[in-house]
Amino acid sequence: ALCATALHGGHQSGAFNLPRPDEFKPPQECPVFEPSWEEFADPFAYINKIRPIAEKTGICKVRPPPDWQPPFACDVDRLHFTPRIQRLNELENVADEGGFDIVCRDRRWTAIALKMGFAPGKAVGSHLRSHYERLLYPYNLFQSGANLLEPTLPVDTSDKECKPPDLTERQHFVEPTESCCNSAHRAKWMRAEVDDLVVQSHTHLSEELLLKPVIQIAQLPCNHLLYSIPFKSLMKQEPIEPVSEADKNKSRYKKKTSIDVDLYMCLVCGSGSDEDRLLLCDGCDASYHTFCLIPPLHDIPKGDWRCPKCLAQECSKPQEAFGFEQAYRDYSLRAFGEMADSFKSDYFNMPVHMVPTELVEKEFWRLVSTIEEDVTVEYGADIASKEFGSGFPIKNGRFKVSEKDEKYLNCGWNLNNMAMMDPSVLTHVTADICGMTLPWLYVGMCFSSFCWHIEDHWSYSINYLHWGEPKTWYGAPGFAAEQLEAVMKKLAPELFQIQPDLLHQLVTIMNPNTLMSYGVPIYRTNQCAGEFVITFPRAYHSGFNQGFNFAEAVNFCTVDWMALGRQCVDHYRLLHRYCVFSHDEMICKMASKANSLDVVLASAVQKDMKDMIREEQDLRDKVRKMGVLHCEQAEYDLLQDDERQCAKCRTTCFLSAITCPCSPGQLVCLHHIQDLCSCPLTNYTLNYRFTLDDLYPMMNVVKQRAESYDEWASRVTETLEAKLDKKKSLSVFRSLINESESKMFPDNDLLRQLRLVTQDAEKCFSVAQQLLNGKRQTRYRCGGGKTQSQLTVQELRSFVRQLYNIPCSLPQAPKLKDLLNCIEDFQQHSEKVLMDEATGTAVIQSLLDVSFDFDVELPELPILRERLEQARWLEGVQQTSAQPSTLTLETMRRLIDQGVGLTPHPSVEKAMAHLQELLTVSEHWEEKTSILLKARPPPSIEVLSEAAEKVVGIPAYLPNCMMLKDSISRAREWLQEAEAFQDGDSIPLFDELSDMVIRGQAIPVQLDPLKHLEFLVAELQAWKESAAKIFLIKNSHFTLLEVLCPRFEVGAGSPKRKSKKAKDCSKKKMVKLDCLSDVEKALLETKDTTSALATLGEVRLREMWALSSLRAANESKLLPTADCMDLKVCVCQNPPMGAMLQCELCRDAFHSVCVRAPSDSRSAQAWLCPDCRRSEKPPLDKVMPLLASLQRIQVRLPEGDALHYLVERTVSWQHRARQVSASCGLPDLEENFTTSPSPWNRTSHDQMVFYTEQRCIPLQGLSVELEELMVEGLLLQVSLPEITQLYHVLLNGLGTHHTHGRTSQNPVYFKMLRFLSLQDGLKKEVVNGVEKKAKRRLEREALETERRDKAKKLQNKRQKMNKEKNLERRAASTSSSPRSDFSQSDDSEEEMAMCPAEGCQQPEGDEVDWVQCDGSCNQWFHQVCVGVTAELAEKEDYVCVSCTISDGR
């Protein structure tokens, strides 16, 4: 049950805050270790590593790495336990003042109350006396036996019912008054509510299960004394028959009868009166008045009652143990947690997680020291993990471990594994010691405690707090164990007299401040969840829990424990305490498998065994001398431990024991031979497990195993202590470490020292090698991040000294000494260089290059690097200043920025000032020139020249200033060009003028002639727009130049006839005039208008020849004999069909649906196809003003030259046409001309699938000259009435007049023919020589082109082509058709491709020379086939053989 009689109501008054003189002062903190993962891997190695530090405090705390979090494997629902009850106070203070009577006589109650810490108040001493007399005084009397003495006071015989003095006082209980302290007052009124509190504590479910540690306590007499909590006496009682309550009362009170009147008398007062108040003892039938007992009984006790004598007799028996009594309620872990949290939160009146640990600690020790507050808590201690399961996961356990947590199954820090790991000595114990090797579970609550104790056999212990609130620990180091025991014995000697091993029972606690006041070193720690606490051998420890928590602990023993383990057995022998296992048996078991022992363990076993054999030999010799003669071997390792315990000291015997026939089953150790029995020693038998001859070989085997380690350890010690030239090399150290690993030597201090020295030597070796090799080494400062650092020179000196001081000999030591000397020389040289201000970069760089071989931190290096940067900067400034063309503003700014970042120096500052001044001036003029160049209107050339003169002396590259100079230069050149333009005799071209204007506009200088030139360009643009409006058809794709120039893209035919004079220029270089761009380029390249007109004349000849070929080809394909479906006509390139239109110029047929039909079929104008009708053909009177305005502007442009040529061509044609009209008497233009279908079309209409809608000029019988006149008239892009007149004349010229039944030709037509023939002869004589040459050249060019294109095509078809040529010749000679010209044109094309010479040699290649016959055939021959050279062909006329014969030459 939970007894908390003084928990409510009082703590809000500030009891926790009021300072007290005896307030608990926390001891010093114990060490806390945080191993790395590498260290944490081996628990025993790590514990051995920290042992030198931790064993000085007795306890230590270990925090695992943060990621080490084993799962909690205990079955919470299955775990049920019954806790122990712990009362936190007992009072034994009055005995120290002399006893009850002396304190009452001397009136010391008030002094005692003040000594106990009570505040002075009214009647505080009286209240304390009342409590003592009622509760503890009877126990003191009973303990001393005073209550069993006969009364010494006189008794009045006349009054048989006399009572001892103060009996009335003993029979009445005096309640404390209100003047009591607050705590006592709380105890009074809280006692009535305790039952309700207990029920509430057990039924209230805590909302949050706070898992924190707890501990328990009980207290002794005064504030500084020891407190012991006794177990209930385990009294052996005889079985009693069940008796009813009435029978018990009847037997207990003696009824007075006539037979035995005074047989029952009170043994205290000796009177038999008041029989109804006489009690009979159920043990000895003695009689006592209820009011004579101390303390008096007010009511008859229920059940069995024992008198003081029986109680004294029972209590005089040896007591087995003291301790905490068990509670009566069974808890589950959840129920206990709810109870524990409810208790703590109610006690401190705040949530459990908000209570400070310091407050709980002070309150715990206050409760231990307080007499009036009876606080009882429960502790679930020593719960066997074997029964309920460990908190750690185990193999094949009920708890299923996840894959990621399987590592905890075999982890050494898993307490299920630790005790039985190889480094633990307990693995060699064969007896059942599961109490030490299996973990125990501990479920604590607030204030539950574990008292001062040491572990069994002085072993190690390790405690892990799985979860919950902290557990507060107190510990004393092992060397202070005897001192602590002495203090406790001094303060409570009677308890140790009754039970010498009291401190082993975990029932005694003492305030750490009390122990510290006696000089005992005490350390404390708060163990939080997830932390380990390790206690070291013979280290006393105690503590309490801060709240609800769950912990687990186990024992283990290491090699260093061996010697202490034997001391512990000797200590137990003195205390007559049982041993958990036999130490000697364990040693012998280990010796029996010496070859498998660790060498360190073997060494420890050998030493322990040596002491064991020596002691055993001494004892056996002593026994023999005492007279024991019988010896017998006994297999004690086959007996249970309780069957071979010494009857005197309870030590478990193994090596030997003494037995006597008179006491079968009883034995004693050799130390207590006198305590076996009273028989003569000669009757005793010495029972032994091994003879001494058996033990020595066992020890030698262990010794041999251990000596290998000892020999190695001796060599290690010698190596580590070597001096000067006796030092060993690093390889020797490594070999020693390798030997320790191969022979599995222990990881002890010696090996760790060897490794440490070796590691230091290897580091020194590595650093020294790097220093000698000049390699950079990066080291990291602790906490400083990745900061590179190197050895300073001073550190290098220290390092060199260290190389000579380490116990290892390194070959780099003398070399490093030389390196140090080189570094010192470098420092001296650097100092001289830094003092010289004019040092060049080469010298500084050479010093820095030398420093690269020194892997040390040299203070001169940063200064040298700064000086190197300064020198490089100065050299850069000097180089750029020497080449002003590279010194830009950006370069100056960059140099200044670099100079700002340099360390100040006089030379740098001087150069910086010069650069800054130059930059300021340069920026000023750059800005000023930029303003001048961007000014609108632009400044004059004089202003810019003045500014340019001022920037000439600035030694820098200034883009704006350079642009200013360039602008002035370009302006002057432009002005000269403009002056030449204005003063020149030749008329400039428009493109030159436009280019000149564009260039002038790009010059940021005021140019006076520019406006005039811009005006001229604007006028020319306006002229071109006006001309385009007059000539161009709306939405036409032709340009103005295309319209005005003769057509140059018509067909690919060649002229039919060649003039003899044209041969003179056939070999000259010919101008390419294949497209508009060629014509435009040729016009631009001409020097004057005359040359331009000549060029256009060549284009006209091309136009006429090409159009003639095109007309012939189109007429040929439209012959009635042709297959119409194979023809490709019109813009759609489809066969002719239905109504067709025929162009008068190109003579091609067009579908009327594909082209725009004439608005009037009887129109006076000839119909032209879309390709032939290129312009609007304005009247000549509209064109002449255009030409006049252009001549006024005095600027040439290609369109102007073309218009000029067009006008001259038009006037020339008009003149010819008028001559023909005047000579022939043509009808007036106003005469209405009507058209009718042509006879050809009519006659062919029945034979063809198409017909033409309008009449065309019939070509049958039409002369070439008249046809050319009409064609050229239609080509003119100007409309003339003569063109229309000539069209109608030719359209009707071949028409017949039916007169009196006969047909006659039109006389006007014949007149025209005669006139044209005369004009043609005259024209031939007056033809301009230039035009003849041009014609000849064009003919030659066209011929050569056609010849090259067709030569290869016709080469493989020569026979076929010859046949066709013969047929065509016969047709030409016999036919009288007026369309023979078309056949001749076709023949000429074929003849041009084929040489008609007999025995043609068929020369190949692109450059084949041809010659034309100047006779009547006009055929072309290969020069090589007719034997004519190129020079002869140019100078003389050539007449072929056929023409020579036919002409009679």
pLDDT tens digits along 1372-1415: 433 333 333 333 434 444 444 578 877 677 787 656 788 888 87
Measure the N-to-C terminal CA separation of the chain; round to a whole number of Å. Answer: 165
415: CB partners within 8 A, 6+ apart: 390, 392, 439, 462, 464, 552, 553, 554
1286 contact partners, CB below 8 Å, separation of at least 6: 1217, 1220, 1221, 1269, 1270, 1273
- Mean pLDDT within 1216-1222: 80
Q: What number is the average pLDDT over the span 632-653?
A: 89
Q: For residue 1068, is pLDDT > 80?
A: no
**Residue whose structure tokens are 């470098």:** 826
Token pair for residue 930? 């930029």
pLDDT at 1358 over 70: no
Q: Is the pLDDT of residue 1430 over 90?
A: no
Residue 1272's alpha-carbon distances to 1210, 1278, 1448, in angstroms, are 9, 11, 38
Mean pLDDT value across residues 11-19 = 40
Closest CA to 1395 of 1336, 1431, 1354, 1435: 1354
State mean pLDDT over 1058-1085: 57
Is a pLDDT exceeding 60 seen at residue 260? no
Residue 450 host element (H or E) = strand 449-453
Q: Model-level pTM greater than 0.85? A: no
pLDDT in tens, 1264-1290: 778 888 888 888 889 888 888 888 888
Q: How far apart are the C-alpha atoms of 549 and 212, rounded to whole Å? A: 4
CA atoms within 13 A on the CB side of 445: 28
* pLDDT over threshold 50, residue 256: no
The whole-angstrom separation of Cα 287 and Cα 281 is: 7
**How do strand 728-729 and strand 808-809 relate by DSSP bridges?**
parallel
Confidence of residue 778 (pLDDT cuts 50, 70, 90): very low
Contact present, 485 and 452 (Cβ < 8 Å): no
Q: What does the pLDDT average to over 100-107?
A: 72
Q: What is the pLDDT of residue 1312?
A: 57
Give one DSSP letter per residue of 117-140, joined into a string.
Answer: TPPP-TTHHHHHHHHHHHHTHHHH
Question: Using CA atoms, how far apart are residues 468 and 444, in angstroms rounded to an integer?
Answer: 9
- Decide if pLDDT at 463 tops 90: yes
Structure tokens at 667: 């034995």
According to DSSP, the β-strands at 440-444 and 376-384 are antiparallel
Q: What are phi and psi of 610, to 5 degrees?
A: -60, -45
Question: So what's the pLDDT on residue 10?
Answer: 34
What pLDDT does residue 1103 have? 82
Q: Report DSSP state, residue 1397.
A: S
The answer to whether 1066 touches 1433, Cβ cutoff 8 Å, is no
- Quote the Cα angle for 248-250-251, to 5°: 70
CA 998 to CA 1007: how far, in whole Å? Answer: 12
Phi/psi region, residue 155 (left: phi>0; alpha: psi -120 to 50; beta: rest), is beta
- Is the pLDDT reported for residue 1326 higher than 60? no
Task: Compute the distance between CA of residue 873 and CA of residue 865 in angstroms, rounded to an integer.
Answer: 12
Query: Higher pLDDT residue, 48 or 321?
Result: 48
* Token representation of residue 1054: 């060649």
Q: CB within 8 A of 787, min separation 6: which ones? A: 780, 781
In angstroms, the CA 636 to CA 656 distance is: 9
Short-list 721, 725, 803, CA closest to 754: 721
Q: What is the pLDDT of residues 1011-1024, one digit of tens each?
A: 888 888 888 888 88
Which is higher by pLDDT, 128 or 1122?
Answer: 128
Confidence category of residue 414, pLDDT binned at 50, 70, 90: very high
Query: Which tens digits make up the pLDDT trace of 507-530?
Result: 678 899 999 999 999 999 999 999
CA distance 538 to 452: 12
Cβ atoms within 10 A of the Cβ of 576, count?
14
Query: pLDDT value at position 550?
Result: 94
Look at 39-48, 161-170, 392-401, 1254-1263 and tell me which has the smallest mean pLDDT.
Answer: 161-170
Helix (H, G, I), strand (E, B) or coil at 658: strand
Which residues have C-beta within 8 Å of that of residue 1034, sequence separation ≥ 6?
none
Identify whether the C-beta of residue 1005 lies closer than 8 Å to the C-beta of residue 938. yes
pLDDT at 107: 65
Question: Mean pLDDT throughout 950-975?
Answer: 85
Residues in the chain, total: 1449
**pLDDT above 50 for 1049:** yes
Mean pLDDT over 787-816 rounds to: 79
Output the pLDDT for position 120. Answer: 66
Of residues 98 and 1119, more confidence is placed in 1119
Structure tokens at 732: 């020797």
Instruction: Say if CB 250 and CB 400 are below 8 A apart.
Output: no
Using DSSP, how many helices (H) and how many strands (E) does the chain show?
50, 34
- pLDDT(462) > 90: yes
The pLDDT tens digits of the residues spanning 870-885 come to: 888 888 888 888 888 8
> Which residue, among 1353, 1358, 1363, 1412, has the nearest Cα to 1388 in the 3D structure?
1412
Query: What mean pLDDT comes out for the span 785-795?
Result: 65
Closest CA to 672 of 700, 648, 696, 653: 648
**Spatial separation of the C-alpha atoms in residues 964 and 631, rounded to whole Å:** 133
Query: Which of 29-38, 301-310, 460-469 shows the lowest per-residue confidence on average (mean pLDDT)?
Result: 301-310
| Tens digit of each residue's pLDDT (9 = 90 or more) over 570-628 | 999 998 888 888 999 999 998 988 878 888 888 889 899 999 999 999 999 999 999 99
Distance CA 378, CA 64 (A): 30
What Rg do the C-alpha atoms of the chain give, in angstroms? 70
pLDDT tens digits, 1298-1322? 434 344 445 555 555 555 555 554 4
Q: Across all residues in the chain, what is the average pLDDT?
A: 75
- Return the top range by mean pLDDT from 53-57, 838-842, 1360-1364: 53-57
**pLDDT top residue among 138 and 1143:** 1143
Query: Measured at the alpha carbon of residue 689, what is the angle toward residues 687 and 694, in degrees to the nearest 5?
Result: 125
Provide mean pLDDT across the span 528-551.
Answer: 95
Question: How much is the pLDDT for 1237?
Answer: 43
Assess contact for 908 and 873: CB atoms under 8 A: yes
More confident site: 399 or 42: 42
Q: How far apart are CA 309 and CA 283, in angstroms?
A: 9
Tell which phi-psi region holds residue 723, choosing left (phi > 0), alpha (psi between -120 and 50) or beta.
Answer: beta
- State the pLDDT at residue 588: 92
Q: Which residues contact 810 (CB under 8 A, 6 or more apart)?
A: 730, 761, 764, 765, 768, 803
CB 1061 within 8 A of CB 1332: yes
Between residues 35 and 403, which one has the greater pLDDT? 35
Q: What is the mean pLDDT of residues 928-939?
A: 85
Q: Quickly list DSSP for 910-951.
A: HHHHHHHHHHHHHHHHHHHHHHHHH-SSPPPHHHHHHHHHHT
Q: How confident is the model at residue 343 (pLDDT cuts 50, 70, 90)?
A: very high
At 178-221, the pLDDT tens digits run: 333 333 333 333 333 333 333 333 333 233 322 223 333 333 33
**Rounded-to-integer distance, Cα 445 and Cα 923, Å:** 86
pLDDT band at 1342 (very low <50, low <70, confident <90, very high): low
Helix (H, G, I), strand (E, B) or coil at 1249: coil
Instruction: Provide CB contacts within 8 A for 1289, sequence distance 6+.
Output: 1224, 1226, 1308, 1309, 1312
CB < 8 Å & 24+ apart, contacts of 403-410: 405/70, 405/71, 408/70, 408/71
**Is residue 1241 very low, low, confident or very high in pLDDT (cuts 50, 70, 90)?**
very low
How many CA atoms are closer than 13 Å to the CA of 1418, on its beta-carbon side?
A: 13
Q: Taking phi first (over 0 means left), then psi (-120 to 50 degrees means alpha), and beta for anything else, what does residue 628 get?
A: beta
Helix (H, G, I), strand (E, B) or coil at 1437: coil
